[in-house]
Structures are given as structure tokens and as C-alpha cells.
Structure 1
């Protein structure tokens, strides 16, 4: 019902014109209509929550807390078992890069400087080799390959992840190394002036070098990066692709302007998952890399030990708590390194998604 100011309230049908001197003359005031009833949707309120929702919420919270507690427990266990050996170490644990001497448990000599260098170097080399190949495979399978061909090819790529590590190690040392020996010798002879291809502490012809190990490791992490990138690229909105094609874009321009920007965060995330896999690889690198007495020199033709292969090579010494503690301390550093890499990757992906 609408009421006009200036109307005679005593007259049933009479209405006086508004007074021009009145500042509120002619203003129409409408009675507000009653709104719909407010329905509470906040589960934390006083509304009744179903039993199934409470059970599911409790299980979800318990699972998250259990995962965090498990990670903390692993770290605490490694630190607890490493402290006795660290107290008997005569060297700086973080800067010593020489040969480990743990026979005399009263005066031990060990450190992780060289292990850290070899681990990071071979993992980054494998990542540099695997990322472009994985990107090309993912783009081909999602944007270029016919559907009847994309499925079988994707299955073949995924099957690479099912091959055991020991098979990769044997294949790398006895099949791949002889096959790439001429190319490795050519790099060493013609580009040896550059530190990456300089003569290292291992035999180039023997194949037990970072060069061979990095190629094998790249093949091992290729399925992980490819699978994640493929699943992200295939989620690109079809509307954006069709709009780009309608504007006259070529297939590659569609990939460059729509698919890659949409899936870049997923591609980076897959690469970081592959890097985490490479940092912890054990058996394949233990078979391929040759341990030497000479210092590591950041050459692709160096040998050495990674964290994981060093620990695996000394399994016979784990019957003594101090000897085992030295290798557990190395494992603790690897644990922290992997955790830091995954945390940085998550932060980078989150920033990429927000941008």
C-alpha cells in the first residue's frame, strides 16, 4: 500500500495537493514487503547436523592430523637416531666432503657436502632433460594426436613408471652407456674446456657417470611429469579453444595462447613431483654411478654417491647404532631437502595460479 504525504487522513477519498514549502513534499514512501525467511546454512551454528556429516568431518580432520603427525614423527625419529653419531663426528657435518670413515666409532669422519652436490646435480640434469620431452608429449597427446592413437600412446608412457628401478639401472649401465659412449667421448674431446664436459673423476668410456645416470633418471621421471601435464592440459575450457580457432588462430597458436597459460601451473607441479622422485632414487643410481676417491668437480663425467645410494651402499654397517646413525643423519638431510623442494613447488604453483 502506498501513502502520499499531504493527504487528509480524515477524508476517505479526498487528497490534498502537496505543500510546495514542505521539504518532503511529493515524496513517496512504500511499505516494505516482507522478505523470505532466513535459513541458516552454517554447519557451525545451532542448526542440527546430520550424524553422517559429523562422522565424515571427524574422519577428514583425523586424516589430516594423522598425516602431519606422521611427518613430524619421521623427522623426530631421524634426528633422535642421528644425534649420537653427530656427537662423535670429528668433522663439520655440512661442509665436509671427503671420504667417510666410520670404522672407529669414537672418532668418526663424515659429512654431506659432496652427497648434496651429486644429488642436486644429477637430479637437475635429469629434470632439464625430461621437462621439454614431457611437455611435447603432453601437448601432442592432448592437442594433435587422434583419439584412437592418443589412448594407447598415453598407456605406453604410463607403463614406464611400472618398470622397477633395478631394471633401469642394469639397462642404463649395460645398454645405454655403450650406446652413448661415442657421443660422450665427443663431448669430452671437443667441449672439455667447459666445466660441464670436462674430464671428471670417473671414466667417460666406462659410463658410470652423472651423464649416464641423468639420462636414465630422466626416463624414470618422464611418466610422472607427462601424466600430470596431460591431465591438466585436457581440462582447458573448450570455449577458449573454439574462440581462438574462430578468430583464425592456428593449432600452435591455440596451444601457446590458451592451453599453455591454463596448464602451466600443473606442468610445474608435475615437474616438481618428478624432481622429488629423482632426489630419492636409490637402486638405479647405485648401479650406475661409480664411487671414487677423488673430489666431485661439477662435471657430467664425474661419479660419486647421492644421499640415497650412499645409504644403500652401507646397509651392512647398520648393525651398529653409531655407524647407522651417520647414515641416518644423511637421510635426515635428504628428508628436509625433499620437504623443502615440495614446499617451494607448492608455493610457486599457488603464486602462478593466483596470477
Structure 2
């Protein structure tokens, strides 16, 4: 039997979370359709266990809302929770659903004090008074607890962290893979192709994102997905993200079936970053320049006192340009295409 509390929470996990509701202790776990057991763990954190768990059962962390204004993937995850609970989506995996910066979601802002996706891998300890610091620590603990009970077989641990970009992009839907020093996974690239992701950005240094934390600390196949543009809740055309949604559902179903003809994404590797050093910083690109816009050799992209960023290769592309970040933070990534050499190294 399902309780009314279960219907309300699982039927619309987003609305339940935004309302600040917390289920009574006796309603924090239950069994949904097809025998999937669910457990409410924390504000915006819900775990599912399939009816049958074997030694190599896949474990998938699906997160969204690490930035509170990135609403489309949050809505996708809420619908996924509903469909699993009602038996309309097959679940053969362990699944942890996380809605990240819940307070920022409620206030329709990106974050309160600090970018939550820069506070993982312990960096939250450097800003103990930040509004976001306790949430970063809580999400680290949730991932560790989830993956500590996961199979350690290759390909058994996954983290799909879904975002939307602030600006337009030459590739509307793209992925970022964290740098761990390990060989790149062909299975991940094939899944990204199945998800209709057209480009992949490879980091070359360690970061403080949630996907880097789960890749490095928890051994997960982890990626950050950028699925279009920021819009208010209720104003998203979710059909634009049907490819990623369907691929995630196939991953959770364990079907192993990918859509025929899905092309591997193009690959771009970070070669440098533009850093805002002071309030004198100027970014010499249009305010609405799309991600992955190419610039020719010799172009001056940024100045900050004596600092200048000049394109020194035949073509470099800019990703995530943002002149409004705090001094000391990244104001843009510079990338070059490395498709052929990267695909040759996949294992």
C-alpha cells in the first residue's frame, strides 16, 4: 500500500522539496511499483533500491540543481522519480536522486553566497561561513554513503550531474568530464553519444565540482551535462532534452540498448583558463557570446592591469565566459578540438 505522503512526495518530488516538506519518520521509506524500495534521506535526496540487487548491480547518482536556477534537469529528475514510483520507468540499478542547492532553487537564484559547484573535494572547509558550505558537505557525505555500498567492478558506478548553461552555445548540449588521471572511458563516450550530447569538454586539472568529487573520491564514471539555457520553473521545453532523459532511463533500466546511429561527440580539451584577478578585469567579448565561439590567433580576449590573455594558437574557443565572477575565480575556459586523438585513446 502507498501512503498519501508517498503519493505527494514521489508524485511531484520537486513541488514537495520546494515546499520545504519533510516526511514523518514513518513515511520516509516504502515500496513502490515493481518492488523498488525508496528512502527519503534528506531535503532533496531520495534513494531507490531495485527489487533485486546482485553483486555487480549498477549504482547511479543522478543530480540536478547544484545551481538553483538550472531548472530543466530538476524537472526531468522529478518526472523520473514519479515514473519509477508508478512503475512507468524500469529500474534495475541502485539510484540516488539529488536536488542540489535546494534553498537557491526556492529563491530562483544560482546560489546564496558561493557557487556550490566550486565547493566540493573539501573546499567548503575554506569558507565555513558560506551559506552553501554545509550543503556541499552534506552532498559529499550522501555520495560517499551511496557508493560505499556499491559494486567496485568497472562500470558499476555512475554519476550524471545535469546542469543548464547561462548562455547560448555552438553545441546546445555538451558534457564536461573531470580530470582524474585515469584513462577515458569508451562506455561513457558511447553513453554521451546515445544521450545526443554533441561535444565533450575535457578538463586537464583537478577541480572542485560535484562530478570531480564522485569520480576522484568514489570511483564513479562521472560527467557534468549542460542541457540548454537557464529558464524559470515551468518554462522549459523538456522535449529538447529527450535524448539525455531517454539515455538516463536506459542506463537505469540496464537494457544496454543504445539508439542506432548515435554519433560519438566531438571532443575539446582545456588548454588554459582566463582568471579574474581584480575588479579592473575586462573581458573583451560580447556579453552574449555563445560557448565554444572560436577566436583566431592574436585576439586579445581579456585584460586585468598588466595581465592580458591573447589567443596564441590558430584557433581557440571560449567556454563559460563570465566577467562578473569574484576576483580569483575563473572567468572563462579556453579549449581546442582534440576529437581524433582522444577517441584513439578510449578504453
TM-score normalised by structure 1 residue count: 0.20
| Structure number with higher relative contact order (C-alpha < 8 Å, ≥ 6 residues apart) | 1
Q: Which protein is richer in strand relative to its size?
A: 2
Q: Which protein is richer in helix relative to its size?
A: 1
